[in-house]
Amino acid sequence: MREEIIFAGFGGQGIILSGTIVCLAAMREGKRVTHIPSYGAEMRGGTANCSVVVSDEEIASPLVPHPSVGVVMNKPSLIKFEPKLRKGGILLYNSSLIDIEPSRKDLRCIPVPANEMAEQEGSARSANMVMLGLLVKIKPEIASLDSIEATLEQAVSARHRNLNEINKRCLARGFDLDGE
């Protein structure tokens, strides 16, 4: 098993945190991982993305030129990363903030109203958790939902741990989605 994932959005959406959580959860399960974060010129509001590789075998290169999965949180990231996804790949996109349809027909594209769902649970800042919940439902070989939840205390900074109960509810909401 080898999954190459790109998480993309703007600073403040928890893009880098999403990648970190996936890596920590996969490591808990004995998998090998790489994580390469990339920030725009400014942190909050600027662009952010990270590439993650999760594998059962040694990872020779952490580079992800054509990811098998894209988790995209805003329109500029959809425009930038949709063309780079591997044919037959999966694209989860935040339909709360993306008002266009993906153009590729060779991808499994799943719109997720992540912001609305997170707001219903108490904080739009947890939209990334909705996406993570659906990601591990669709791709359970990456990590289990239990492992994702177990890494929250480790991955989420002390000043944001007050959101972890909301984060867990948002993970569950994403996991409960149909995924079609």
104-140 pLDDT per residue, tens: 999 999 999 999 999 999 999 999 999 999 999 999 9
**What's the token pair of residue 32?**
């090998």
User: Is position 61 within any domain?
Assistant: yes
- Residue 97 has what pLDDT? 97
- Residue 157 has what pLDDT? 82
Q: CB of 33 within 8 A of CB of 52?
A: yes
Task: Please name which of 37, 31, 83, 78 lies closest in space to residue 54, comparing C-alpha atoms.
Answer: 31
- Residue 158 has what pLDDT? 81
Residues 6 or more apart whose CB falls under 8 angstroms from that of 19 comprise 5, 7, 35, 37, 50, 51, 52
Provide, rounded to the nearest whole percent, the portion of the chain with pLDDT above 90: 86
Q: Which domain holds residue 35?
A: 2-175
Look-up: residue for tokens 């290169």? 61
User: Is position 63 within any domain?
Assistant: yes
User: Is position 30 within any domain?
Assistant: yes
Measure the CA–CA gap between 162 and 166, rounded to whole angstroms. Answer: 8
- Residue 11 has what pLDDT? 86
49-79 tens-digit pLDDT: 999 999 999 999 989 999 999 999 999 999 9
Question: For the domain that residue 140 is a member of, what is the CATH number?
Answer: 3.40.920.10
Measure the CA–CA gap between 69 and 82, rounded to whole angstroms. Answer: 10
User: Is position 180 within any domain?
Assistant: no
Give the DSSP per-residue string, 45-110. TSEEEEEEEEESS--S----SS-SEEEE-SHHHHHHHGGGSPTT-EEEEETTT--S----SSSEEE
Asked if residue 144 has pLDDT above 90, the reply is yes
Average pLDDT of the chain is 94
Asked if residue 40 has pLDDT above 90, the reply is no
User: Is position 97 within any domain?
Assistant: yes
The better pLDDT of the pair 117, 178 is held by: 117
Decide the pairing of beta strands 32-39 and 69-72.
Answer: unpaired
Number of domains in the chain: 1
